[in-house]
Structure 1
């Protein structure tokens, strides 16, 4: 079942296109792969980036907030970098280019998600408490990509590198993975300490 990739806000896409076309304006933001690319580059697969601020919320269900849109930057047949935008008081603006392991891991997770039978809206979910990034497969394909809470039936695919004890590229229902993530944050009892 194909993924239902939400459209990025037009100003976010324009800011990335402007950054790609203006090497003097963003020279310090260029990655080694972008500096060495021969030929045209193209932003694609815009994914909303949400942050989960508290795995264990104080008031019920974990809440997320939109922090940006991430685009894979293609040169020919492969993604060579990613571009991220952020929302400012003046609207969506280019933030930075980057490379690294999450680039290939995101592509792999998207390919995995394409093979699932259930339609999903793909998003990225950052979990700062665990230094973790996941592909968030939201079950409501018509939902506003900038809003929404984690639903127990949504699927999270941890991207590599994943935290110890959490397998990368293994899809988990939110209801299954949140307790595991909570355990990762709970300090282990000291041996020999009084009970």
Structure 2
């Protein structure tokens, strides 16, 4: 079934398009593929980026906080980079252009998700403490992307490179990863307290 990509906030898209039309922003980007791209550049495939935080209930699913939007930057027939935005008190602003293994891995994970039997809303999720990125397939395809929260029916495809003990590009049910994610997200014990 097809993935239902949520619409990005207009200011997020406009900020990426403004950066793409700025020769300075493109030339100063640390993305060789973007600097050498020929032809028009376009922002497509907006994916909300969520940071996972500890569950509010012991043993529950982690909480998701919308941290930004990532757009694939297409140069002709290929994706050359990603354009990222972040929320500020004044609204969505352009953050940076990036490339690297997560870009190709995201494309691969999206292709993996296309033939799944149900319809999902794709999100990216980040677990910064483990340098982990994953494609989060939310089982409520028409949910508000800004407020979406993990559901037991959701799937997760870790992107490569994945942390030790997690297989990249394997489709996991989120409940399979929840105990590990909860352990990773738990605050460290206070010094001098029993662990």
* Distance verdict in 2 for CA 1:129–1:24, change over 3 Å: closer
**SS state at 1:6 partner:** coil
Counterpart-to-counterpart distance in 2, 1:22 and 1:83? 13
Alignment correspondent of 1:137:
137
1:29-78 C-alpha deviation (Å, 9 max, x unpaired): 35111110111111110000000023xx3534321100000001111111
Structure 2 unpaired stretches of 5+: 187-195
Counterpart-to-counterpart distance in 2, 1:59 and 1:174? 16
CA contact (8 A) 1:53 1:129 kept: no
Q: Does 1:22 align with 2:22?
A: yes
TM-align CA RMSD: 1.7
Q: Does 1:51 align with 2:48?
A: no
Q: TM-score scaled by structure 1?
A: 0.89
Counterpart-to-counterpart distance in 1, 2:103 and 2:50? 17
Structure 1 unpaired stretches of 5+: 187-195
CA contact (8 A) 1:47 1:123 kept: yes
CA contact (8 A) 1:43 1:72 kept: yes
Counterpart-to-counterpart distance in 2, 1:119 and 1:25? 36
Alignment correspondent of 2:68:
68
Aligned residues: 184
Counterpart-to-counterpart distance in 2, 1:50 and 1:149? 10
CA contact (8 A) 1:37 1:75 kept: yes
**SS state at 1:92 partner:** strand
Alignment correspondent of 1:127:
127
**SS state at 1:142 partner:** coil
Counterpart-to-counterpart distance in 1, 2:64 and 2:103? 22
Counterpart-to-counterpart distance in 2, 1:143 and 1:182? 24
Counterpart-to-counterpart distance in 1, 2:124 and 2:80? 18
**SS state at 2:24 partner:** coil
Q: Does 1:157 align with 2:157?
A: yes
